[in-house]
Amino acid sequence: MTRRHLIKAGLAATGAALIAGDSDAGARPPVSAAMAPPPPPGAPSAGPSPSASASPSPSPMDALTRPVFTLSEYRKIVPGPAFPDNAVALTIDDGPHPAWTPQVLRLLERFGVPAMFCLIGNQVLGHEPVARDIVAAGHQVANHTWSHPASIANMPPDRVQQEIDRAQEKIHDTTGHTPAIFRSPGGAVSPAVFAAAAHSRMVPVNWSDDPRDWTRPGVQAITNRLLAARPGQILLCHDGGGDRSQTCTALKTVIPALQARGLQFVALGG
């Protein structure tokens, strides 16, 4: 069944609550793409802007001290209806990619699944139609920095803010939607990362089921890990950063299998 407009992109993050603890997620190597460093303050963003409207500059929110790992944690921070007891959320990182993203989109449409695509700014650059296709299909978009720096947790605050701001501007100008969720490269966090996300009114969201598909461990390894998903988890996959044929093949089995088990895919904003 075709499902369009599954979610309302541009979710407004209405308030935040402090939750204690440290992330145990490790950083991974950066995506092998054009990794141009962020421009100095005041420099224009690369590429033309297809949107006449400027990216909004919302007031900062309170910084968290720990990223979100599950649906229940997300709902404690972002008010809204309770997620179903059988819910899981699918997140797709490192795109958009001109070959793999369309394949993922077709799979999601085939099975009626909403997803959150965590977009890298310099991947949106040059692949603007693909980014717009994600939103047109009704999926969420999140900010995954401008250049996916694996060392973001060790970067000074001004560089972290530049990475986030430049991606935010590019995603907004391309899709017309302003992300309310931030996915740090490799899930790496630091006080500067939390502060920068809060300054842009974004909730930092990690994951609770990682098949490490970016390492290309084989279709069966990806499939087995994702099939171990439990209600309330946030699942991680990738559509960028390399050959994602294993991921696409695995999802063809995983999505209907999880649905057959009674799990319901939900949008984080839903």
Mean pLDDT, rounded, for 79-103:
97
Is pLDDT of 198 > 50? yes
Q: Within a 13 Å sphere around the CA of 59, how many CA atoms are in the beta-carbon half?
A: 4
Q: Is residue 48 part of a domain?
A: no
Q: Is residue 42 part of a domain?
A: no
Phi-psi region of 176 (alpha: psi -120 to 50; beta: other; left: phi over 0): left
Confidence grade of residue 106 (pLDDT, cut at 50, 70, 90) = very high
The values of phi and psi at residue 214, to 5°, are -65, -20
Q: Is residue 55 part of a domain?
A: no
pLDDT value of position 10:
37
Q: Is residue 217 part of a domain?
A: yes
Number of domains, the chain? 1
pLDDT value of position 194:
97
Q: Of residues 45 and 166, which shows the higher confidence score?
A: 166
Is pLDDT of 12 > 80? no
Q: Is residue 17 part of a domain?
A: no
Q: Is residue 210 part of a domain?
A: yes
Is pLDDT of 118 > 90? yes
The C-alpha atoms of residue 72 and residue 233 are separated, in whole angstroms, by: 9
Is pLDDT of 267 > 70? yes
pLDDT value of position 206:
98
The residues annotated as belonging to the active site are 93, 238
Q: Is residue 124 part of a domain?
A: yes
Confidence grade of residue 62 (pLDDT, cut at 50, 70, 90) = confident
CATH number of 91's domain: 3.20.20.370
The C-alpha atoms of residue 222 and residue 252 are separated, in whole angstroms, by: 11
Mean pLDDT, rounded, for 38-44:
36
Domain that holds residue 255: 71-265
pLDDT value of position 59:
53
Q: Is residue 9 part of a domain?
A: no
